Structure 1
């Protein structure tokens, strides 16, 4: 089962993609503008993203750059565009895109390219997990493991922990975490700290050493620690 996010503002093309890909077993989500697409891409775990370049609210190039640089998200990205200038393709690849197709394209070829990218990306995660020091996190289900113990997470703390894991040991800024959980409409300022406190209660409180560090005035990060000693 391949989870695919379609970020495309052409409703007719989106309908055609659903009609072709869903019978093949794909699980699909879609967004009709770049800001909504970024919110979905950073809040869920996808096997690949189809990304249009010309989008309202946030263009595809900027979205791709933010996914790679700010969120450290390695999800395979296929850029879709009605244009075919070489400079666009070069810029897209430089920003982290994995493939590039010009619309209209063969849907059979698109399926083949998606599957090739998904197979290539499987080596990035080991059995669907991310690891940092002695902490492992399931990329699809809200659970983690540390020192032989299972940690049950909420959907929100799972998103935050995956974000920290993908960025480690770099700092994830407070604004990035707020956008990850609530998009352009974050609640009052104490809500994020409540979620961070809850994450620490589950992933840090009963373990030594603690991993989640506060960088005052900036955000949070996972501590850069030496690897645990062999048992």
Structure 2
């Protein structure tokens, strides 16, 4: 899932970026309102974290233009140091979906963000991906296999999400590298190393490998007849 952070405070932006990326989100940053609006319109985002006080274009104006001029319904979680009721109401009037007052807990940001995305256009069912006995909750980016929790690093979470969203489809190495690393493409062994890490984490004792290597092409999810039951 892709999240845009529009925040001019470098420390807050860095903390949000690290936390969300560590939770498996694909994250990008804008440090002023004009850049934020341009990025919000240039791509499709699952949610936007938007600071209220921004240089160039304030958060309220950005949100209003996103809604009224561009017709975008992307969920917006507004971040601000203003805690008066009138300030919150003004945020909602301009199109914000939720509101967090600084300082805030990163865990609360994650929880509210997950809830917003889960409600977005009523896509509740799509927030829970399943393949064989593997389950990925997209709202929390948590993984289970046969009921046991599976801990994965961020890039492996992204790989698993991509594979689980199109099970049985073969993804080329170039596709996976582009989806996970973007323009900063890794060296030739990086993808292989991450797939190996993902496999080891998913495969406990007596569990079969659900990731199949398609030689000369890439990878796909493929369950054995036992796993598919």
Tell me the TM-score normalized by structure 2.
0.53
Aligned to 2:13: 14
Report how far residue 52 of structure 1 moved.
Answer: 0.3
Aligned to 2:179: none
**Structure 1 residue 95 and structure 2 residue 94: aligned?**
yes
Secondary structure of the 2:82 match is coil
Q: Cα deviations across residues 130-180 of structure 1 (Å, max 9, x unaligned)?
A: xxxxxxxxxxxxxxxxxxxxxxxxxxxxxxxxxxxxxxxxxxxxxxxxxxx
Report how far residue 96 of structure 1 moved.
Answer: 1.0
Aligned to 1:191: none
Aligned to 1:85: 84
Aligned to 1:112: 111
Q: Cα deviations across residues 98-155 of structure 1 (Å, max 9, x unaligned)?
A: 000001101111101001000100437x98xxxxxxxxxxxxxxxxxxxxxxxxxxxx
Q: Superposed, which structure 2 residues align to 1:1-231 within 5 Å?
A: 2-123=1-122
Aligned to 1:135: none
Aligned to 1:202: none
Q: Give the Cα separation in 2 of the matches to 1:123 and 1:21.
A: 23
Q: Cα deviations across residues 191-214 of structure 1 (Å, max 9, x unaligned)?
A: xxxxxxxxxxxxxxxxxxxxxxxx
Gaps of 5+ in 2: 127-229
Aligned-residue Cα RMSD (Å) equals 1.8
Aligned to 1:158: none
Q: Give the Cα separation in 2 of the matches to 1:28 and 1:50.
A: 10
Q: Give the Cα separation in 1 of the matches to 2:120 and 2:104.
A: 23
Tell me the TM-score normalized by structure 1.
0.52
Q: Give the Cα separation in 1 of the matches to 2:69 and 2:61.
A: 11
Report how far residue 94 of structure 1 moved.
Answer: 1.0
